[in-house]
């Protein structure tokens, strides 16, 4: 398993300067292997331990960013000290006062109506699952052989349900009905960075299109890593989950070797590859 040499060099230089790190990771496909039944996704125990050990180091914070609802993400992660962001950046916990997007109450009502309409639309489609969240609706079709052969007709039908101010977004075997807001995983990571301290360096690791939105939002100031194949704007790439584990272990080793300790003003209580090819 090869590690992105340029990233490791950047991490060593950062650790030598005593900079803090905010390590952000996607959940499904990055930390938890994708499963045909979405409810079966689990964070492997060894990976949980890696994250907890990394987050215990002085000057390191971990945040998990996901499209899952926050309560679902909390139940599946159980990583002591880690922050959580659910529904593509619409909520954040673990960095001071819990935050939710101001439009959440309105979007909750609208998403309920959209979920009901999507249920009626997909009732004849075997294997399609509707997930209603507070501020969005996910239509999962990983278990539907018919939709897997051609997902575009379902996407067009769902687009016809959208009221003004909503949009359709694609993912890995999912169509998402999302509010048309300038909000995503990258925004949640930036909020966590501001609360931690704007000088903290950001590393974001993800594997799908919503993570690509985050890579673009964070820009070249962040260390961004794409997991798996596909076009990417990330600065580096690793092949799969074993490489993610190796990268997490490398992060911990680099930090521990630097022998860093937090300055008094930065001490906090514990809260409840390769370069990507040019396009």
Q: Using CA atoms, how far apart are residues 101 and 183, in angstroms rounded to an integer?
A: 9
Res 253 pLDDT > 50 = yes
Q: Helix axis angle, 241-258 relative to 45-56, nearest 10°?
A: 20
Q: Give bridge partners of residue 138 from the DSSP assignment.
A: 131, 176
- pLDDT tens, position by position, 54-108: 999 999 999 999 999 999 999 999 888 899 999 999 999 999 999 999 999 999 9
Res 50 pLDDT > 80 = yes
- pLDDT tens, position by position, 18-27: 999 999 999 9
DSSP letter assigned to residue 222: S
DSSP H/E element including 90: none
Note whether 123 and 145 are same-domain residues.
yes
Structural domain range at position 129: 104-179
- pLDDT tens, position by position, 179-207: 998 789 999 999 999 999 989 999 999 99
**Count of other CB atoms within 10 angstroms of residue 179:** 20
Note whether 93 and 188 are same-domain residues.
yes
Note whether 159 and 228 are same-domain residues.
no
Note whether 164 and 29 are same-domain residues.
no
Note whether 138 and 166 are same-domain residues.
yes
Note whether 91 and 9 are same-domain residues.
yes
Note whether 16 and 128 are same-domain residues.
no
Res 224 pLDDT > 60 = yes
Model pTM score: 0.85
């Amino acid at each position: 398993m090869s590690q992105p040499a340029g990233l490791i060099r950047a991490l060593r230089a950062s650790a030598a300067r005593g900079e803090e790190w905010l390590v952000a990771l996607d959940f499904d496909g990055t930390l938890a292997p994708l499963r045909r039944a979405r409810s079966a996704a689990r964070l492997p125990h060894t990976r949980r331990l890696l994250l907890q050990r990394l987050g215990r180091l002085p000057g390191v914070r971990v945040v998990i960013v996901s499209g899952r609802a926050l309560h679902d993400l909390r139940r599946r992660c159980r990583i002591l000290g880690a922050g959580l962001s659910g529904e593509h950046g619409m909520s954040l916990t673990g960095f001071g006062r819990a935050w939710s997007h101001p439009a959440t109450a309105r979007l909750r009502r609208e998403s309920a109506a959209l979920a009901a309409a999507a249920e009626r639309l997909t009732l004849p489609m075997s294997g399609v699952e509707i997930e209603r969240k507070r501020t969005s609706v996910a239509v999962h079709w990983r278990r539907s052989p018919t939709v897997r052969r051609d997902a575009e007709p379902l996407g067009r039908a769902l687009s016809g349900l959208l009221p003004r101010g909503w949009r359709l977004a694609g993912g890995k075997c999912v169509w998402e009905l999302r509010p048309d807001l300038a909000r995503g995983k990258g925004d949640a990571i930036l909020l966590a960075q501001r609360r931690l301290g704007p000088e903290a360096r950001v590393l974001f690791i993800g594997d799908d299109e919503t993570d690509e939105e985050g890579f673009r939002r964070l820009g070249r100031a962040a260390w961004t890593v794409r997991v798996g194949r596909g076009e990417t704007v990330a600065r580096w790439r690793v092949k799969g989950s074993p490489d993610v584990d190796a990268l997490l272990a490398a992060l911990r080793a680099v930090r521990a070797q630097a022998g860093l300790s937090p300055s008094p003003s930065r001490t906090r209580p514990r809260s409840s590859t390769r370069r990507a090819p040019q396009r």
